[in-house]
Structure 1
Amino acid sequence: METNPTGAGFSKNKLDRLRIHLQEHYITPQKIPGCRLLVARRGCVASSLTLGLMDLERNLPMRDDTIFRIYSMTKPITSIALMMLFEEGRFQLSDPVAKFIPSWSAQRVWVEGSGEAMTTRPPKTAMTIQHLLSHTAGLTYGGLLPGMELPVDAAYQRAGVTRTGSDTLESLAEKLGSVPLLYEPGARWSYSLATDICGYLVEQISGQPFDEFLKKRLFEPLEMHDTDFCVPDSALSRFAACYVRGADKRLQLQDDPLESPYRYRPTGPSGAGGLVSTMADYAKFCTMLVGNGNYNGLQLIGRNTLKLMTQNHLGTKSLAQMAVGGFSETSNEGVGFGLGFASTIDAVASGTVGEGDFYWGGYASTHFWVDPAEELFVIFMTQLIPSSTFNFRGQIRNIVYGAIDESA
């Protein structure tokens, strides 16, 4: 990929620190197998790096077209899809979720205790679609993510809630409707399976299967040909292996691409974390975002709708004040959350730069951010679980913003 750091308003020498930093601190000591990094600003690609290996066991080099598990970087895509229906007048953010999933009208809220001794009560506030999109609905991950043990986890397990994709979206919704909410809708923030329900709402409201809707309304217009819920055999040679960091700090294979469940289409495609994608594909999604919803002359989502999605929907509070349980590799101070995206609302409190950006990341240490004021987006792809292992986002941000050259 041809790069033009000067045309993008960067100091080439300072931007070169990205390669040096990643190679010296992560690739050479094998803290990660390999990675891809893209920096684009003002419509120009400033830096495009392809480093290390995508498969240590087979000694396969990282490719420009490597396919990655993007996990929760699926969430912004699902959120955009649902808000496309909002723009068609098909629902209001204030609509109760029970309007579309009637069984959810019987939900209860956890008060205290666990198991048979658990005390619950009816919610005082109806859960809305806005609550789902902003992770303030009272749902959780039900113990499916390490480090997020919560009082209602056992209820999720008794209901048979899993992340395998073996349930249809409808059956997953019915299961989630039977578990108690962790808190009153709107009262707190908890990273959760809510975006899977957003995917189900896309199905319910549009009348199309969720994966088909994404393909027709987003992936085809954006020319995201390698983004899907499974990897076809014809593309298997480009699918990266995924790793975890062992107790000895060495990489251990977590998911072999040849034996991966991603080789098979799931019964229920996860809008919260089920997609695979490439750098080129996700760059097209980010190009649309930095372009106020426009891609190659197609207005896929309205500028005002996107602005609404990237504002802080936690009122005057930050995630540090609202969040229950850990979910991020970085501090929650000065960070707000909108409809599918986090945002830096106070750079001083967060100890970072890029206030006014919006972003998210994935479980295997992938991340992206968009800075509308700088006309900038950055995408980092690797395959290391969990994302909290290293603070790639903070390190890369500092180098990227420090490399902006005001004289360029």
Structure 2
Amino acid sequence: MMLHEEGHFALSDPISDYIPEFADTPVYVDGKQVPPERPITIQHLLTHTSGLVYAAGNSPVEQMNREADLHGRDVPLAEWVKRLAALPLMHHPGTVWHYGPSIDVLGYLVEVVAGIPFAEFLRTRIFQPLGMLDTDFYVPPAKLDRLATLYGEGLWVTDTESLGDYTQPPVWESGGGGLVSTGMDFLRFAQMLLNGGELDGVRLLGRKTVSYMTTNQLLSSIDRSRRQRGYGYGFGVDVLLDPVAAGRVSSVGEYGWSGGLASTHFWVDPVEDLVAVKMTQIVHRDEAGNDVPHRDMNTDLRTAVYQALIDEAL
């Protein structure tokens, strides 16, 4: 959105204007690959309505994604995008909300438009200005003793400071995940959003841009069956529309994300003027990679936070 504010592109621009490989990406419908009803736009990518999906399910498109092996850290971002664009979409763009690699594609868009590697853009335009000095795609040797162990369900170790993906810079710098950070660093990022794009005298975004990107973008015509009840979606964030339907004590307009693989979570509540960050180090999967039911700690945290709020005496 910083590049959008600077006039480098419009949200309605087809992504193929910047990444030509997506000009010919078809849609998989009833066993056939057909032309899309409309091109994928930058706004579709920001809202996960592009038709791009991960390899999480058993549909034909998800199986194709799995066979393409798109989830390693050893493929350059440009090559990864080319491989992804060669696969069909699962939905026509702008018709269905479906969580997928849309944000990864936007990471490559940043490289194309800014003319520098994605990681360098993050460091020089976001992390360093905000003082997020412990956030990167890897942990340097001098900080490895601070890297927390990552566990799977049953407390089996999946990643450590001496054996893990985060001891070296990755070849693939993912726009959708893969950063290592601290609670304090991420709190500064969330506070910047609550402040309307500014923190400690450093402004990254205009306040109206932050307001727009944290407003529900899913029109009634979009299939939202994969969304959590009570929530819409902005640009990369959940947006609370109905606390009762969501079953959560919070405020209408609260936004954030609870999709961190290691169960990390953050939210911003503009009504109560608060931000919250939850950092955990457990992936709720067994050693075979199967998801494991678990207690919703996010709800417990919200209960603790909101029941503690009091109004100052007049």
The TM-score, its normalising length taken from structure 1, stands at 0.72
Residue equivalent to 1:372:
270
How many pairs align?
304
2:57 matches 1:159: no
Distance 1:262 1:295 in 2: 28
Q: Which has the larger radius of gyration?
A: 1
RMSD (Å), alpha carbons: 1.6
CA gap 1:301/1:278 in 2 versus in 1, 3 angstroms: same
Distance 1:378 1:102 in 2: 40
AA aligned opposite 1:322: R
The answer on whether the counterparts of 2:147 and 2:160 sit within 8 Å (CA) in structure 1 is no
Q: CA deviation at 1:323?
A: 4.1
Q: Pick from 232, 242, 250 the counterpart of residue 150 of structure 2.
A: 242
Q: Pick from 217, 220, 243 the counterpart of residue 347 of structure 1.
A: 243
Residue equivalent to 1:93:
11
Q: Pick from 40, 51, 55 the counterpart of residue 142 of structure 1.
A: 55
The answer on whether the counterparts of 1:367 and 1:379 sit within 8 Å (CA) in structure 2 is yes
AA aligned opposite 2:172: G
Q: CA deviation at 1:317?
A: 7.1
Residue equivalent to 1:192:
100
Residue equivalent to 2:33:
120
Distance 2:62 2:309 in 1: 45
Q: Pick from 297, 304, 310 the counterpart of residue 399 of structure 1.
A: 304
Encode CA deviations 1:140-164: one digit per residue, 9 max, x unaligned: 1123xxxx443312222343422x2
2:295 matches 1:390: yes
SS at match of 2:211: helix
Distance 2:179 2:127 in 1: 12
The answer on whether the counterparts of 1:159 and 1:178 sit within 8 Å (CA) in structure 2 is no
2:80 matches 1:175: no
Equivalent positions of 1:1-40 (< 5 A) are none
The answer on whether the counterparts of 1:97 and 1:128 sit within 8 Å (CA) in structure 2 is yes
The structure showing larger relative contact order (alpha-carbon pairs under 8 Å, at least 6 residues apart) is 1
2:204 matches 1:300: yes
Runs of at least 5 residues in structure 1 that lack an aligned partner in the other structure? 1-82, 113-117, 325-330
The answer on whether the counterparts of 1:286 and 1:377 sit within 8 Å (CA) in structure 2 is yes
Encode CA deviations 1:179-213: one digit per residue, 9 max, x unaligned: 11000101111111111111100000111110000
The answer on whether the counterparts of 1:290 and 1:375 sit within 8 Å (CA) in structure 2 is yes
The answer on whether the counterparts of 2:45 and 2:106 sit within 8 Å (CA) in structure 1 is yes
Identity, % of aligned positions: 40
Q: Pick from 319, 322, 331 the counterpart of residue 224 of structure 2.
A: 322
SS at match of 1:393: helix
Distance 1:298 1:254 in 2: 37
Q: Pick from 257, 263, 279 the counterpart of residue 360 of structure 1.
A: 257
SS at match of 2:51: coil
The answer on whether the counterparts of 1:160 and 1:175 sit within 8 Å (CA) in structure 2 is no
Runs of at least 5 residues in structure 2 that lack an aligned partner in the other structure? 286-292
Distance 1:367 1:160 in 2: 27
Query: Which 4+ residue blocks in structure 1 deviate beyond 4 angstroms?
Result: none
CA gap 1:270/1:209 in 2 versus in 1, 3 angstroms: same
Distance 1:389 1:266 in 2: 31
The answer on whether the counterparts of 1:226 and 1:281 sit within 8 Å (CA) in structure 2 is yes
Distance 2:41 2:238 in 1: 19
The answer on whether the counterparts of 1:173 and 1:197 sit within 8 Å (CA) in structure 2 is yes
Q: CA deviation at 1:295?
A: 0.7
Greater share of residues in strand: 1
Encode CA deviations 1:69-124: one digit per residue, 9 max, x unaligned: xxxxxxxxxxxxxx000000100110001001112110110112xxxxx3110001
